[in-house]
A = this chain, B = another copy of it.
Amino acid sequence: MAEKEISQAVISRLPRYLRYLGELKDEGVERISSQELSGLMNVTASQIRQDFNNFGGFGQQGYGYNVEYLYTEIGKILGLDKKHHLIIVGAGNLGQAIANYMNFERRGFIFTGMFDINPELFGKKIRGMEVRPMEEMADFVKQNNVDIAVLTIPKGEAVLVAAKLSDVGIKAIWNFAHVDLAVPKEVQVENVHLSDSLMRLSYMIERYESEVANKE
């Protein structure tokens, strides 16, 4: 089947739809129209219908969308019905926080291992998972069919580690290092550049204040 390419903009909205639908589901809501969801989420009903129709019809004329069904289908689109083995590379503050904070199992991600270069951390248990030496990472990925590596290490190391992970067949890298990774196209990369995000916030403050100043 010749799939039409789904735009990045649409994909970025899917997790938010999922969140709202999950809440509606928990509240026991059975069906919802694009109009109602529009009011709730502050996006146009038209966009909602266009977005969902990228993946085929999930709704029914005159009725709307079944919340439970829509929730399940969007989950499938996002691959949340699949199990993914995941390791965290870098057991510092951020790595530990991610391990403890993310509800990996809830979304089908199986926390499988944790690695660091610092010998003081070896054997330490983070969320029940002992920290292993970095040298063991490559073999571990191969032997345990690890799909995803979370990179919570400094940017210098990140480039090298990403290359090594690519070599041993990692499928995807969730990159918290402040650097653009160059990996083969078969390795998917999602960046979380926290400082970029904070700068955007700083910009918003700046802009708002200059707007107010100009109005006077």
| Chain A residues with a Cβ under 8 A of chain B | 1, 3, 6, 11-12, 14-16, 18-19, 77-80, 82, 84, 92-94, 96-98, 100-103, 107-109, 147-148, 171-172, 174, 178, 186, 188, 190, 192-208, 210, 214
What CA separation (Å) do A210 and B147 show in the bound complex?
A: 15
Bound-complex Cα distance A44 to B195 (A): 24
Distance in angstroms between the alpha carbons of A1 and B188 in the assembled complex: 44
The residue of chain B having its C-beta at the shortest distance from the C-beta of A191 within the complex is B197
With both beta carbons as reference points, the residue of chain B lying nearest to A147 in the complex is identified as: B205
Cα of A133 to Cα of B118 in the assembled complex, Å: 34
With known contacts A1-B214, A3-B210, A84–B202 Cβ distance under 8 A:
yes
Q: Are A196 and B16 in contact (CB under 8 A)?
A: yes
Contact pick for A195, options B1, B107, B197, CB 8 Å = B107
A205 to B147: give the CA distance in the assembly, Å.
9
A201 to chain B: which residues have CB within 8 Å? 148, 172, 174, 188, 190
Q: How far is the CA of A168 from the CA of B186 in the complex (A)?
A: 49
A45, B195: Cα distance in complex, Å = 25
